[in-house]
Amino acid sequence: MSQQQSYSEYFYFTITQDSEQDVQQIIEQYHFDRMCGYEAWNKGQISDDGTHQFQQMCIRFDIDPNLNNTEQIQHWFTYLETSTNILQLPASFHRTLHLVTHDRNTQGAGFHLNIDLLRELSELNARFHLYGYLDQDDGHDYPYAKPIATIEESRPCSEYAYFCIWSKLPAKELQQLFPELTFEVGFDQGLKLETKQQLKHRNSLLKLCSRLNRETVKLNEHISDLLEQLQPYQSTLQQLFFNPQYSLGISATGYVENPHHRLASTSNIQQLFTLGLSLDVDYYFIE
């Protein structure tokens, strides 16, 4: 990809397996040739321009750039499921949705996975990968390939994830829904406790942060830690999901290296969907 002059993003989807199987046989067997805009490579194959060698068998599906948000992309998955036999694909094949972002400033970019898209990914046993770049080539023309050129080491980062719940109920009543968890109180019916400032809204906000190190641990592990804390309250969370008085989800933020690569694993995506939690991530590049 050429260097970007302003913010841009694109999605693609891959099916990979660390095996010597012939990729063309897989395409024909599962009717992936019914999809438009795909490329396929065998393990060990060299890219046409001679710059990358594939470490796994890989099928890459380009997703129409006009489908520029997660709500629209879920329809692409519906088409994939109905046009091919992907649901019959053995678990030994990895299915991954990739998001690649480019920006021209240090604010960087993130993503939002709503419940509908989490459902699609969960049904496919798929995982999610985010790649962020600050004005530089990204190399994603050749997924799961090893660049022949040497890539510099990433710089350290600092990031964390947190569960939050909004409601018009008093903060004390919200805390009673999760008796064994220790929350930070952001607002209590519009009162910002740190400054004693009364805001225009009357919402309460509770925040539960990951317990892991912010400088050494990355996104997926922070999500896992939160899900471990929340798992005992599965029935409570599922009830709250259907109650319009509450808004809840997991968010993540932090200062990350350029370029950066983060993921949400298949198991975490399935647990997020089961608990009725959306995932929202905002990152900033280290200056």
- The answer as to whether 71 is a domain residue is yes
**125 and 22 within one domain:** yes
Which residue has better confidence, 128 or 287?
A: 128
- The answer as to whether 260 is a domain residue is no
**Domains: count for the chain:** 2
**133 and 13 within one domain:** yes
What pLDDT does 134 receive?
A: 82
pTM score, two decimals? 0.84
What pLDDT does 65 receive?
A: 76
**141 and 188 within one domain:** no
- The answer as to whether 52 is a domain residue is yes
What pLDDT does 54 receive?
A: 96
Give 186-239 pLDDT, tens digit per residue: 888 766 766 666 666 778 999 999 999 999 999 999 999 999 999 999 999 999
What pLDDT does 4 receive?
A: 40
Report the share of the chain in percent with pLDDT over 90.
66
**28 and 124 within one domain:** yes
Does the pLDDT of residue 143 top 60, yes or no?
Answer: yes
**219 and 137 within one domain:** no
Q: Among 125, 147, 169, which residue terminates a domain?
A: 147
What pLDDT does 276 receive?
A: 97
**29 and 120 within one domain:** yes
| Separation in Å, CA 107 to CA 100, 133, 256, 284 | 15, 11, 10, 4
What pLDDT does 91 receive?
A: 94
DSSP letter string, the chain: -PPPSS-EEEEEEEEEESS---HHHHHHHTTGGGSSSEEEE-TTPBPTTSSEEESSEEEEEE--TT--SHHHHHHHHHHHHHHS-GGGS-TTSEEEEEEEEEESSTT---EEE-HHHHHHHHHTTEEEEEEEEESS---TTSTTEEESS--PPPPP-EEEEEEEEEESS-HHHHHTTSTT---EEEEETTEETTTTEEPSS--EEEEEE--S-TTT--HHHHHHHHHHHHGGGHHHHHHHHT-TTEEEEEEEEEEE-SSEEEEE-HHHHHHHHHHT-EEEEEEEE--
Q: What range defines the domain where residue 130 resides?
A: 8-147
What pLDDT does 3 receive?
A: 42
**110 and 52 within one domain:** yes
What pLDDT does 33 receive?
A: 96
Does the pLDDT of residue 122 top 50, yes or no?
Answer: yes
**114 and 73 within one domain:** yes
Q: Is the dihedral of CA 133, 138, 144, 150 positive or negative?
A: negative
Which residues, listed in sequence order, are joined to residue 130 by a DSSP beta bridge? 99, 262
